[in-house]
């Protein structure tokens, strides 16, 4: 069986050292962009990110217009090596290729959201996070992290990527299923008087509206306790909608 195929099988079984050894055997017998890709990919998976990047750079010198998945995995390797500007350049190219149908748009937006987040470019990160949710409304960090961690020898390697996605505004959990009738949540009113003793007044307005709306049989109204967990917080209404299922 070809060494490159064996490397793929071992990696799928999470036998990381065996996968890397087979990939290295493959490149020793026939050094081409595909066998070199196997070494680069497996080095990244075992946490040797700088070495992985060095191999990807060799590949991209040999093949300036590689398959889209070469760009994908090289971008991830750059990200893992904390070379975020280089990762950004690769993921931008992935996005262009994805728009041409060569790769998955969801991956491109997810990776750009994480990378912009690490670069401190919050607006761009949130834009790509929103695009990801538009394409995949059920996306959650909980499900994604479970899969992504399984693809690395050290699961902690991917934690910075997961945290970056969270910072970009992607939700921890899948959205709640929407009820079969119009649903609404009344968020707490803000006490703008400057007098803390008037807090009961703004809270009272919120509670009265919730009570009144609850009497309407054609509406599903979120309970006070769920709505009031957002009190005093700056929140994005789309995020609230996803979290409360409204």
59-67's contacts with Cβ under 8 Å and 24+ in sequence apart are: 59/33, 62/33, 62/36, 63/33, 66/33
Tell whether the model's pLDDT for residue 168 goes beyond 80: yes
Which pLDDT score, from 0 to 100, does residue 90 have?
97
pLDDT given at position 235: 75
237 phi and psi angles, rounded to 5 deg: -65, -30
> HSE-up of 89 (CA within 13 Å, CB side)?
5
**pLDDT band at residue 46 under the 50/70/90 scheme:** very high
- Structural domains of the chain sorted by starting position, each given as residue range(s) with its CATH number in brackets: 3-167 (1.25.40.10), 183-244 (no CATH)
For residue range 95-143, what is the model confidence (pLDDT) as tens digits? 999 999 999 999 999 999 999 999 999 999 999 999 999 999 889 999 9
Q: What is the pLDDT averaged over residues 20-24?
A: 92
Q: What is the pLDDT of residue 27?
A: 85
Size (the chain), residues:
246
Task: Give 165's pLDDT tier (boundaries 50, 70, 90).
Answer: very high
pLDDT category of residue 176 using cuts at 50, 70 and 90: low
Q: In whole angstroms, what is the distance from residue 150 CA to residue 21 CA?
A: 20
Which segments of 48-184 are extended strands (E)?
183-184
Give 47 or 213, the one with higher predicted confidence.
Answer: 47
Can you give the pLDDT at residue 180?
67
**21 is written with which tokens?**
């050894």
**Which has the higher per-residue pLDDT, 228 or 1?**
228
Q: Model's pTM, two decimal places?
A: 0.73
pLDDT tens for residues 65-84? 899 999 999 999 999 999 99
pLDDT given for residue 189 in this prediction? 82
**CB-CB contact of 79 with 114 (8 Å):** yes
pLDDT single digits (tens) 193-234: 777 777 777 787 888 888 877 777 777 788 778 887 887 777
């Amino acid at each position: 069986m070809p060494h490159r195929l064996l490397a793929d099988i071992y990696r799928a079984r999470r036998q990381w050292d065996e996968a890397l050894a087979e990939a290295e055997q493959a490149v020793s017998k026939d050094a081409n962009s595909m066998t070199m890709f196997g070494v680069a990919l497996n080095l990244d998976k075992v946490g040797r990110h700088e070495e992985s990047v060095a191999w990807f750079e060799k590949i991209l010198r040999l093949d300036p217009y590689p398959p889209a998945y070469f760009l994908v995995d090289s971008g991830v390797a750059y990200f893992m090596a904390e070379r975020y500007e280089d990762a950004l350049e690769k993921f931008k190219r992935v996005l262009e290729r994805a728009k041409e149908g060569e790769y998955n748009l969801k991956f491109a937006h997810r990776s750009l959201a994480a990378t912009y987040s690490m670069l401190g470019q919050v607006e761009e990160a949130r834009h790509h996070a929103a695009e990801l949710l538009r394409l995949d409304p059920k996306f959650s960090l909980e499900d994604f992290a479970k899969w992504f961690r399984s693809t690395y020898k050290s699961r902690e390697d991917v934690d910075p990527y997961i945290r970056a996605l969270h910072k970009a505004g992607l939700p921890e959990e899948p959205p709640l299923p929407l009820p079969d009738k119009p649903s609404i949540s009344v968020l707490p009113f803000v006490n703008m008087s400057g007098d803390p003793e008037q807090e009961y007044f703004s809270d009272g307005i919120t509670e009265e509206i919730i009570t009144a709306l609850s009497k309407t049989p054609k509406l599903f109204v979120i309970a006070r306790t769920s709505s009031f967990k957002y009190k005093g917080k700056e929140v994005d209404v789309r995020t609230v909608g996803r979290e409360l299922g409204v």
